[in-house]
Structure 1
């Protein structure tokens, strides 16, 4: 989605479907650490404790995405924006459905206003 064109109703439906199909939110950024995933930056269904838990002291089923896994180097953004990417992913979980709903609400208001204006000029 790099187009500058307005989102179509079909595209809004697709975004809505993607959000509904994803693991329920909210999502949180977590910093985890162990010899297998050194300095793991993850997106999780549970908040970060600040303890940098080591496996098996965290439930792997809570992790929905990772933006940094250093040992071995499985996940690593070239620009080193691991924390920022994780925050974006976690925030998008709640923001995308809200943005879709807001676009639909505003379009509905515009349509109602246009219909009202059309009746007034008839």
Structure 2
């Protein structure tokens, strides 16, 4: 959705609720490997070890999402931005709550400024 309309309080609350019910963070990028996934780029609840673990040497319960699974081509975006997409997804877990807090803070400042202007 691309819009230039201001974010409503209801929309902000819905975004906040989605963030609150998602798997707790922080999230990390994991570079895994096996004969099926081939260079699996995943978003995980645990940091990457740097060893490119192969199945079953990693716990699938730690994987939140994947941006590349090559064999067979289950997850492989056409623009080949799987690393960039993984970075975006992993960081969204802490970025979204932080942005929500900042929006609320700025709205509060604007409301206080508006009250001061009315009182002046």
TMscore range, shorter length: over 0.9
Unaligned runs of 5+ in 1: none
CA distance in 2 between partners of 1:111 and 1:103 (Å)? 12
1:12 equivalent in structure 2: 12
Unaligned runs of 5+ in 2: none
CA distance in 1 between partners of 2:4 and 2:63 (Å)? 33
Aligned-residue offset at 1:73: 0.7
Q: State the Cα deviation string for residues 37-95 of structure 1 (Å, max 9, x = none).
A: 11000000000111100011100000000000001110011000000000000001100
1:108 equivalent in structure 2: 108
TM normalised by structure 1 equals: 0.96
Aligned-residue offset at 1:36: 1.4
CA distance in 2 between partners of 1:59 and 1:2 (Å)? 37
1:47 equivalent in structure 2: 47
Instruction: Let me know the Cα RMSD of the aligned residues.
Output: 0.6
Aligned-residue offset at 1:8: 0.8
TM normalised by structure 2 equals: 0.98
CA distance in 2 between partners of 1:10 and 1:94 (Å)? 21
2:58 equivalent in structure 1: 58
CA distance in 1 between partners of 2:3 and 2:46 (Å)? 34
